[in-house]
Structure 1
């Protein structure tokens, strides 16, 4: 048997005198309590060795009833794994967030200070290492004392093992009935606990039981287990607890809520002093030392619990991680199973977040959309090409419940399946998908297309997936500021000529660029619209960005160009470890080639033109190879810039929306940047967000060059000089897209407005 943490020379304490009960304390009542306990002891004759008591021979009806009750119980209590908190780490192993149902970090007995061990044994069960499952002497003393007080629980008589059994049953209770049974005050509960306690003492060592007890015990204010309590109240590890701290924590287990030092400091202080006196009475510490410590305050250094994503260093990235994992059926058959392991499994979730990118993204977004209460939402996502690792996601509205302060729990930066936000129309950023498909089809970059403004188009000229015309109707689309032009892929893209891309889409058909965009990461609906209810995505105006998307989707798609045609699914997690550090699952890159390298190289050669020149291009130039595309939807409901270097991709967005997320125009809206725009554009508002985040992180991603698209027909062609711009707005994009409502029977030949 392990040696006691109390010195062997410690004399047993004298039994306290009975609490005053007057004539209520009759001999008959005392005897009845004693007889009950003796009867219980007699019932257990077959396992009396576990009790360490000197008798086993009292018979009676009570004993027979108890025996029958015991016969219905399992012989052992399945202790299982204790619920523990989960930690979410960034890519530099810093803790981003903790999530839990019970704030617990399990530690071994060797990781707990010896002073703490002595304190808990002294106050809860000073003969723990000497008796069996039942400390009959202590139990009888408690029954006598409590009987003198009309059955009120004045003094506890349960051994540490019995307390562990009770705590285990409470922890395992999943229903109200099970919780009531685990905390009942009748003798049947005591009998049940005793049966399990005897089995536990036979199965496990005293040290194991004490270690388990210190890990399962509740210490108040949301702290479960000694390690969490030590960190919460004193910001130290359990192995560093000193006498003052240990005595306070040992005292809390008697009544964690009533003695909670954050609410009842005086009570906690008085209880701590009781523990110190008890330790001195047992000769664990000298009385002089106890008296010195009693003169001191509690010395609290309370640390916030930080449970969940709201207090995380990157709240919406944290939320994205949890939503991502909740979709992973390998973590559990049902959503409830997956939620349980995430909140109680003591996991370590390693993520792709780089806090340096996150800080840059947060600043870039809030510098532009600086008022969370504005009827606007700014968002940004940054994704590493070739791996799909998400480095940062940011939005202008902070996480929280206070809608008046602009707070929200809606994650506007990610796909609907990870958030609840339905996204916003992507505008001319979608032109890149038709551009890529045309190059993939072998159409020369120099292909000249007459691009009038406005242009009149026939639906039957657009082939859908079944090889049949899309429909039978006519629609008109203007160019925003270029007027009519004969354009090729270079200047048609740089000037964002709507009618050029509608002409190019005639050549590719609708189906192929639509499917290419899906392969590149966009969660587009099918033509019936049964997912989001709009049904207006695979339509001739697809190239003008009528579909709702998120910054994460667009960053993932444009990262495919950066990776030379290799698409990698975005992922925020690299691995999950259990509480022992064993890897449960790795999340490796999932990549597929969706276009030829030469196609992606040609797209990059075209898109780099938007960041080379004067105006906004000069303002966002990174000083290294980069390309991108602006987007502005009809009525200015949303503005975009999606761009990339060979080693980093990002997409920035600002959308008009009220506090519930319903779409509205950005025109004339004060977004907090001290400038109100009569007419918004992607180049003026979204591009600076992209440029700010990309420039702030230049040292964190490699400087590589694009590969020139040699062998691609028309590569490097000299684009015709653009005509004068209307209104003389130098440096603004020309992509006021998605005009005219749905039109033509609701088949989506125009912008629907971002949602």
Structure 2
């Protein structure tokens, strides 16, 4: 017996093939009798119907069977191209015939339709052979007579069936169904090449164990791609299509082995492979190497990031007109989704959050990392895993993202909102060294707060008090100590309009009903992604980039469907952002954040604690990465409660604070990834453009008066010249300054230069204090 003809691309419309199809239709009366005999239907009744159909002639050939795109699974990748999740109704990845092993095509043709490349839609010889074989077997169906084209028609009708009724009709064991399939097969052979039919067949066929199509089957059973299947593997898979469940090699190894050997024998019989090779392979085991294909975000290693991606794309009309169409596209469209997830950062975030807040705690922890220069969301994590088991702390609410992407309302952000007033004050020219007397508590009438439309009139006024001390503070110390009465008074100077607009420009939503004077204490709900992207604006020197979890999405054909490029806008002057960074780095360098400051990088940040301690925050950043950390008291049913008196992460909380709870969680996550961050420093604020920048007075001793003046003015200081004094420096050069070298003073402050007489003073044996270049009447340091 001759071997199967190898796959070659053939024109389906040659006169020879047309004539063959006409012959098929003329012979259909006889053949359908055989088919019906196999179906145990009355032959006489069929013959009249068949004759009637044939008499209609070739003009009644059926219209083309529309072949819809096959359902293919969507794959989601991290920033390094590693798979993090798959979404599908059917586990399928369509591949062209050129990407399918030659051994696989030989095996499937050998066992299913060895004359596939020689006959038309119907293999008369094969059908008669199957009929004779089945009759010899006592009427039991031992061999199928359907060609690969007929099988493809049936699989297509089943695959495209809309509802149970159509599916039942597509699988009914009736003459009408057989005839309909044959008519469609004739049309399909006229429309498509043999190669196209075989390729479509291998991609639509079900191979059992949830694997649809040859690529999914090759990956699932042998952990190889379809193009790399060897003879033994190909024979196993080719044997499955007849009965995918019965020959399932995972559940029925013996039957699968027997079936594989049957295929090998058939390949040897047709001289596709040598008999010696078949005999050798039949002695070997199946050689399975199972590779599961997790489906959905719950089985992802980045559950809530995956969910964020899906919800983010569901908002995009590029994937359909409405939610149903978009979800179908995401699950069945064979998309390739490239995300901005960095698994190194995700792992650090997950570990830190799970160590600081347990899944079953009466608290929830969340953390998000955003890249300042692009808005790329690198990681999100939360303490409660995805699922429905409340006893295990599981939930489907995503607390780390905006409500539209996670269904969670968010949490009050506390004093992290104060930075919007701080930035507005700097932009308005309020000097950083401005001193404001800030008592422990005070009452401020509503009318002292200016809105965009004039004075604010709400209630009787705002009684505000501190939890971090009282006294006289400037913009540095008032922020670093998070003094409420300081910021309440600063807001009366900036007005409410500009800070609220700035918050919106930086991606933070303040509902109109909550736009009251006390909004700066974080009375509005927020989430880690929102706050991370806002603070990233400072790290990016005033350029705000919208948070985006996805980079681009490609269709099954590789073409880009949607691309999400950085969406950035300058919302603050660079110098204003630089000044904010200069102030907030003080939180890390001696302030509340010094205990969890990551080493090896420059960082800045701000704590946040709500008045009733229901939520605590720390939002910190480096020039490369902004991270928001949040912990909130939350019952299993979603009711919020104070963190005070709870056990969080195994430790008792007597009085919650941003620096005591959220800060360490932020610090552990950031410390684990400093190796991936640069050691770049923040740009120092220009004292010539920002009033009151606290800057170390340069050491200008020994310089000429003109050079010293230029150096000091470049730092934003004013300069005056005092009287000459004895010193060891050359005559006419600077002998000393007031304030002295290295003391911290604000831009705009006056530095006095004292020229040298050139006369070296006699040493003072009694006073050996270190000379810091101070002149007579030197100033005293400030807060």
Query: Which TM-score bucket, shorter chain as reference?
Result: 0.7 to 0.9
Say if 2:99 is the partner of 1:111.
yes
Say if 2:671 is the partner of 1:695.
yes
Q: Which residue of 1 aligns with 2:539?
A: 562
Q: Quote the Cα distance in structure 2 between the aligned partners of 1:519 and 1:66.
A: 73
User: Structure 1 residues 235, 624: CA separation in 2 closer, same or farther (over 3 Å shift)?
Assistant: closer
Cα shift readout 1:621-640 (whole Å, capped 9, x = no counterpart): 54443211001113321111
Q: Quote the Cα distance in structure 1 between the aligned partners of 2:552 and 2:679.
A: 28
Q: Larger relative contact order (C-alpha < 8 A, sep ≥ 6)?
A: 1
Q: Quote the Cα distance in structure 2 between the aligned partners of 1:85 and 1:69.
A: 43
Structure 2 residue matching 1:652: 3-state secondary structure: strand
Q: Which residue of 2 aligns with 1:655?
A: 632
Match among 451, 469, 475 for residue 489 of structure 1:
475
Match among 500, 509, 514 for residue 500 of structure 2:
514
1:621-636, aligned counterparts within 5 Å?
621-636=598-613
1:545-556, aligned counterparts within 5 Å?
545-556=522-533
Say if 2:460 is the partner of 1:473.
yes
Q: Which residue of 1 aligns with 2:374?
A: 387
8 A contact 1:612–1:621 mirrored in 2: no
8 A contact 1:458–1:474 mirrored in 2: yes
Q: Which residue of 2 aligns with 1:239?
A: 227
User: Structure 1 residues 247, 467: CA separation in 2 closer, same or farther (over 3 Å shift)?
Assistant: same
Q: Quote the Cα distance in structure 1 between the aligned partners of 2:219 and 2:516.
A: 58
Say if 2:21 is the partner of 1:50.
yes
Structure 2 residue matching 1:634: 3-state secondary structure: coil
Say if 2:319 is the partner of 1:331.
yes
Q: Which residue of 2 aligns with 1:531?
A: none
Match among 616, 623, 630 for residue 646 of structure 1:
623
Say if 2:558 is the partner of 1:581.
yes
Structure 1 residue matching 2:364: 3-state secondary structure: strand
User: Structure 1 residues 57, 328: CA separation in 2 closer, same or farther (over 3 Å shift)?
Assistant: closer
Say if 2:705 is the partner of 1:705.
no
Residue ranges of structure 1 left out of the alignment (5+ in a row): 8-45, 528-534, 721-755
User: Structure 1 residues 66, 319: CA separation in 2 closer, same or farther (over 3 Å shift)?
Assistant: farther
Q: Which residue of 1 aligns with 2:757?
A: none
Q: Which residue of 2 aligns with 1:418?
A: 405
1:216-295, aligned counterparts within 5 Å?
216-295=204-283
Q: Which residue of 2 aligns with 1:352?
A: 340
User: Structure 1 residues 253, 67: CA separation in 2 closer, same or farther (over 3 Å shift)?
Assistant: farther
Structure 2 residue matching 1:636: 3-state secondary structure: coil
Q: Quote the Cα distance in structure 2 between the aligned partners of 1:290 and 1:312.
A: 41
Say if 2:489 is the partner of 1:503.
yes
Q: Quote the Cα distance in structure 2 between the aligned partners of 1:472 and 1:393.
A: 39
Deviates more, 1:257-266 or 1:119-128: 257-266
State the TM-score, normalizing by the size of structure 2.
Answer: 0.80
User: Structure 1 residues 224, 235: CA separation in 2 closer, same or farther (over 3 Å shift)?
Assistant: same
Say if 2:366 is the partner of 1:366.
no
By how many angstroms is 1:662 displaced? Answer: 2.7
Q: Quote the Cα distance in structure 2 between the aligned partners of 1:100 and 1:675.
A: 42
Q: Which residue of 2 aligns with 1:406?
A: 393
Q: Quote the Cα distance in structure 2 between the aligned partners of 1:545 and 1:615.
A: 18
1:709-724, aligned counterparts within 5 Å?
709=685, 710=687, 711-716=689-694
1:420-459, aligned counterparts within 5 Å?
420-459=407-446
Q: Quote the Cα distance in structure 2 between the aligned partners of 1:154 and 1:172.
A: 28
8 A contact 2:601–2:674 mirrored in 1: no
Say if 2:542 is the partner of 1:542.
no
User: Structure 1 residues 312, 503: CA separation in 2 closer, same or farther (over 3 Å shift)?
Assistant: same
Cα shift readout 1:124-183 (whole Å, capped 9, x = no counterpart): 112211210011233345457778999976542211011111222222234333323332
User: Structure 1 residues 57, 135: CA separation in 2 closer, same or farther (over 3 Å shift)?
Assistant: closer
Residue ranges of structure 2 left out of the alignment (5+ in a row): 8-16, 30-46, 696-743, 747-783
User: Structure 1 residues 588, 459: CA separation in 2 closer, same or farther (over 3 Å shift)?
Assistant: same
1:100-139, aligned counterparts within 5 Å?
100-139=88-127
Match among 453, 461, 465 for residue 448 of structure 2:
461
Q: Quote the Cα distance in structure 2 between the aligned partners of 1:355 and 1:619.
A: 23
Structure 2 residue matching 1:393: 3-state secondary structure: strand
Structure 2 residue matching 1:639: 3-state secondary structure: strand
8 A contact 1:375–1:659 mirrored in 2: yes
8 A contact 1:88–1:98 mirrored in 2: yes
State the TM-score, normalizing by the size of structure 1.
Answer: 0.83
Q: Quote the Cα distance in structure 1 between the aligned partners of 2:412 and 2:141.
A: 66
Q: Quote the Cα distance in structure 2 between the aligned partners of 1:669 and 1:153.
A: 70
User: Structure 1 residues 456, 75: CA separation in 2 closer, same or farther (over 3 Å shift)?
Assistant: same
User: Structure 1 residues 109, 319: CA separation in 2 closer, same or farther (over 3 Å shift)?
Assistant: same
8 A contact 1:620–1:687 mirrored in 2: no
By how many angstroms is 1:368 displaced? Answer: 1.6
Structure 1 residue matching 2:558: 3-state secondary structure: coil
By how many angstroms is 1:62 displaced? Answer: 4.1
Q: Quote the Cα distance in structure 1 between the aligned partners of 2:83 and 2:28.
A: 59
Deviates more, 1:653-662 or 1:388-397: 653-662
By how many angstroms is 1:423 displaced? Answer: 0.9
Structure 2 residue matching 1:207: 3-state secondary structure: helix
Q: Quote the Cα distance in structure 1 between the aligned partners of 2:363 and 2:455.
A: 41
Structure 2 residue matching 1:122: 3-state secondary structure: helix
Q: Quote the Cα distance in structure 2 between the aligned partners of 1:624 and 1:54.
A: 79
8 A contact 1:642–1:650 mirrored in 2: yes
By how many angstroms is 1:82 displaced? Answer: 2.2
Q: Quote the Cα distance in structure 2 between the aligned partners of 1:91 and 1:662.
A: 36
User: Structure 1 residues 117, 339: CA separation in 2 closer, same or farther (over 3 Å shift)?
Assistant: same
8 A contact 2:468–2:482 mirrored in 1: no
8 A contact 1:73–1:192 mirrored in 2: no
User: Structure 1 residues 699, 252: CA separation in 2 closer, same or farther (over 3 Å shift)?
Assistant: same
8 A contact 2:617–2:630 mirrored in 1: yes
Structure 2 residue matching 1:252: 3-state secondary structure: coil
Match among 307, 310, 325 for residue 319 of structure 1:
307
Structure 2 residue matching 1:382: 3-state secondary structure: strand
Larger Rg: 2
User: Structure 1 residues 318, 68: CA separation in 2 closer, same or farther (over 3 Å shift)?
Assistant: farther
Deviates more, 1:239-248 or 1:408-417: 239-248
8 A contact 1:217–1:226 mirrored in 2: yes
Deviates more, 1:545-554 or 1:689-698: 689-698
User: Structure 1 residues 382, 70: CA separation in 2 closer, same or farther (over 3 Å shift)?
Assistant: farther
By how many angstroms is 1:93 displaced? Answer: 1.4
